[in-house]
């Protein structure tokens, strides 16, 4: 059986036993108790402290999110208004209102306990291996630069402009960098595991299957991480254990961490503005979950919160179930009349869902010309959550 070769200074075994009486032989016969502290130090040196620190940082920010949420929900979930107030990324706010700091705060935020738990698990899996391979400084640099790349990808490529939060862009960057770095000689012993882990997680994360996932953020983070992986290949001599320019990478990681934390200052300064805008809207804790709750509470919500288009939409759905198309049309038009709220305080797909439902209602009444006036945005969207509504409009020839 042929032994796998070793490269550089990794795992090189002595070619022969040291001669009897030599210093090396004497050292090899030293008591095990003397070797124990050195072994313990070696184990501590290989622990992924930066990866664990990043997970702790995300957990601390999530705890603060819960304390500052505009309207806490069961299951440690944050609603749309809370995420906007706390610094979620949104193309309109970044480009139109100049709130560039959201590019830095959004990767630190998470929408629910399940969201942060899933991201932390993947971060631990990839960070544990990648940090040992490229070092702590480079891992921190890739994480924070990829986080910005993910946020930028989200606000640039996401035409509907929803609020986006989560460290998945940064994690995608680490996965992409790990795949590229797996081709370096220093990764010889772990290259297959790195490639399998990277591809196993990157490929599904880039295939759109849900309207709740920001694939533009994933794409931006992955492209950024892959580019940084190629940079590492350039500054990483084949026979060296670590890439060069570790101090520069540490500086980049430190600046990225500082900017991500300092960016929460404008969050605090703008918080009262978003809290005021949420006044008169349905609190997150009162939002219905599932069709049964919409049927039971939709009409009441529209009366108690007339400024919130969601209440009118819920009541319209109930009217359509009892075939009251006139009542449904009135509620849907009332919902669309709240244009300021739809533009500034609601996910964009809500406007599309309301307009598409109104178009379908008008089509059922034989008013196709009017229906087409509202169907345009739904016919053009690629949001998976609106696929059924879009298909119904296409089938009814409402879409052009």
Confidence of residue 10 (pLDDT cuts 50, 70, 90): very low
**pLDDT reading at 27 higher than 80:** no
Q: Where are the alpha helices (DSSP H) in 106-167?
A: 113-134, 136-157
Task: Give the per-residue pLDDT at 285.
Answer: 80
Of residues 23 and 56, more confidently modeled: 56
Query: pLDDT of 67-97, one tens digit each?
Result: 999 876 777 889 888 999 999 999 888 998 8
In angstroms, what CA-CA distances link 160 with 26, 123, 135, 151, 232? Answer: 71, 28, 38, 15, 35
Query: pLDDT of 99-137, one tens digit each?
Result: 999 999 999 999 999 999 999 999 999 999 999 999 999
Does the global pTM surpass 0.75?
A: yes
Q: Which of 168, 182, 260, 302 is catalytic?
A: 168
168 is catalytic: yes
Q: Which of 110, 115, 218, 312 is catalytic?
A: 218
218 is catalytic: yes
Q: How far apart are CA 130 and CA 51, in angstroms?
A: 9
Mean per-residue pLDDT of the chain: 86
Confidence of residue 19 (pLDDT cuts 50, 70, 90): very low
What's the average model confidence in pLDDT over 193-220? 88
Could you tell me if 200 and 126 are in contact, meaning their C-beta atoms sit under 8 angstroms apart? no
Structural domains of the chain, with CATH:
47-278 (1.20.1540.10), 284-395 (1.25.40)
């Amino acid at each position: 059986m042929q032994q796998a070769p070793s490269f550089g200074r990794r795992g090189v075994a002595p070619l022969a036993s040291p001669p009897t009486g030599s210093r090396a032989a004497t050292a090899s016969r030293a008591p095990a108790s003397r070797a124990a502290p050195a072994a313990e130090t070696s184990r501590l040196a290989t622990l992924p402290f930066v990866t664990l620190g990043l997970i702790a940082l995300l957990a601390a920010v999530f705890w603060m999110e819960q304390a500052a949420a505009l309207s806490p929900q069961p299951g440690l979930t944050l609603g749309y208004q809370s995420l906007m107030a706390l610094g979620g990324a949104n193309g309109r706010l970044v480009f139109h209102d100049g709130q560039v700091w959201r590019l830095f705060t959004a990767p630190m935020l998470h929408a629910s306990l399940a969201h942060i738990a899933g991201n932390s698990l993947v971060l631990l899996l990839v960070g544990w291996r990648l940090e040992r391979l490229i070092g702590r400084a480079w891992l921190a640099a890739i994480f924070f630069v990829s986080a910005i790349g993910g946020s930028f990808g989200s606000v640039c490529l996401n035409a509907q402009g929803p609020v986006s939060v989560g460290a998945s862009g940064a994690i995608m960057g680490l996965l992409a960098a790990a795949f590229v770095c797996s081709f370096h000689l220093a990764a010889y012993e772990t290259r297959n595991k790195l490639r399998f882990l990277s591809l196993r997680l990157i490929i599904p994360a880039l295939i759109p299957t849900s309207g709740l996932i920001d694939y533009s953020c994933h794409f931006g983070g992955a492209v950024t991480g892959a580019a940084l992986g190629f940079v590492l290949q350039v500054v990483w001599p084949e026979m060296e254990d670590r890439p060069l320019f570790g101090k520069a990478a540490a500086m980049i990681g430190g600046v990225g961490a500082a900017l991500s934390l300092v960016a929460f200052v404008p969050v605090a300064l703008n918080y009262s503005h978003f809290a005021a805008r949420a006044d008169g809207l349905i609190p997150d804790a009162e939002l219905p979950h599932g069709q049964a709750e919409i049927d039971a509470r939709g009409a009441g919500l529209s009366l108690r919160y007339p400024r919130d288009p969601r209440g009118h939409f819920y009541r319209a759905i109930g009217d359509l179930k009892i075939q009251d198309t006139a009542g449904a049309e009135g509620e849907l038009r009332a919902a669309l009349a709240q244009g300021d709220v739809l533009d500034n305080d609601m996910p964009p797909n809500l406007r599309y869902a309301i307009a598409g439902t109104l178009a379908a209602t008008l089509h059922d009444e034989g008013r196709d010309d009017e229906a087409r006036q509202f169907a345009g945005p739904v016919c053009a969207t690629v949001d998976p959550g609106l696929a059924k509504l879009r298909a119904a409009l296409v089938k009814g020839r409402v879409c052009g």
